[in-house]
Amino acid sequence: MDLALVIAVASVAAGVIAAVVADARLWVLAPVRAFAVVAVAMAIAVHILPEAIDGGGWPVLAVAAAGLIAPLFVSRATARLGARHRRMAAELGYVAVLFHQLSDGLALGAATDEVRHWDLLIGVGAHTVPLIAMLTLTFAELGGRRAAVVRALGMLAATVVGIVLTRADDTLLPSAEPWLNAAVSGLLLHVLVHDSGDREVPAATRPLEAIGVAIGATLPFVTGGHEHSGLTHSLREDLITVVIAAAPWIVAGGALAALTAPAYRRSPRTVLRAVTGPVTALGLVIAAYAATALTDLDGVRSIGQAVADAATVVPRPVAIAAAIALAALTLLEIAKDGLLTWLGTRHDHGHGHGHDHDHDHDHA
């Protein structure tokens, strides 16, 4: 059997199996969902979006931004017809992922045509599994397992079509790919923010979520680049540099804030949540993007060089230790409160167990 087809089938099957098993068992669902959400977010940040920028230039960020906010306008337009925001966002995300899987099929076909690029193959498979798992869990909650499996088969079909097209024409890599991937990034980010699931995770299960988060965050760095993109590798290096350089100041600033706050306002836990919250993580990613963007401007490293210089102020072993401490504190916060609370996206359903989302499960 064609190696590209084997990878496509195996990655989709692994994602579906993980989601189906997790959907019936909350202690499995929590870490699988956490892994999928974080792995997809990291894949967007360090793989999909950088590759889109590398192929289409920085203007593709406008397309990603449009994809991020488009579901809001579409859901408002369709609200009069009774369509709900979560389903509309999921459907738009699914359509975008179909195009992305078509692109992945083209990449798989090209990577296995003559010379096998194993780093690309592993990267495609590794980010496909959490992507499939995330969307399968979404549609399992919206329409039941049968609907979820049908959607997964659709994503497999899109991947296979891309592989077949590449076999028919080994030069087939559409110029629209970067723009499609940028739109996919925006739509998927919207789904991640608004589709975290409804089931409350018991305190005893939350440490498993933290483990899932840790694995999902490191996966893109372990599997290598999805494609041989110079910008992707530069962004990864800048992200590592930014985290190591900023961690000592973030940790020290948080400690100073906790110590100097007035006694009646002092709340070490509040400071810890602010220091280790998603805003800090997002800020580090944005700083890495800024450093990479400025590096590309005639080789001027402005922010990037400033960050690198800042890293030399603190001895590197101390900076690395601070980065590890910051990551550990973040995981401890997730293990205590749960991923949804940490993200600030946990749904509040009041005193009952009713949900305001679609749950037309198919039990047949």
CB 206 within 8 A of CB 357: no
pLDDT of residue 235: 85
**pLDDT, position 133:** 83
pLDDT of 355: 39
175 in Cβ contact with 90 (< 8 Å)? no
Could you give the count of Cα atoms lying within 13 Å of 125 in the half-sphere of its Cβ?
21
- The per-residue b/e assignment along 71-95, b for 16 or more CB within 10 angstroms, e otherwise, is beebbeeeeeeebebbbbbbbbbbe
* Exposure class string for 160-182: b at 16+ Cβ within 10 A, else e: bebbebbeeeeeeeeeebbbbbb
Contacts of 128 (CB under 8 A, 6+ apart): 8, 11, 12, 15, 101, 104, 159
Torsion angle of C-alpha atoms 295, 296, 298, 300, degrees rounded to 10: -10
pLDDT in tens, 235-273: 888 888 889 989 999 999 888 887 776 665 556 777 788
Dihedral of alpha carbons 185, 190, 191, 192, sign: positive
pLDDT at 321: 94
**257's tokens:** 């804030």
pLDDT tens track for 177-225: 777 778 777 777 776 666 555 556 788 889 998 998 999 888 877 765 4
Residues of the chain with pLDDT under 70: 1, 24, 26, 71-86, 107, 110-123, 167-176, 191-200, 223-229, 261-267, 296-312, 345-364
**Residue 43: per-residue pLDDT:** 81
| Cβ neighbours around 243 below 10 Å, total | 23
The pLDDT value given to residue 78: 57
pLDDT of res. 269: 72
Say what the pLDDT of residue 134 is. Answer: 80
Longest distance between any two alpha carbons in the chain, whole Å:
71
Q: Kindly report the length of the chain.
A: 364
What pLDDT does 151 receive? 87
Please tell me the distance from the alpha carbon of residue 317 to that of residue 248, in angstroms, as a whole number: 11
pLDDT of residue 168: 66
* CA 308/CA 301 separation, integer angstroms: 10
Taking alpha carbons only, the member of 342, 297, 310 closest to residue 243 is 310
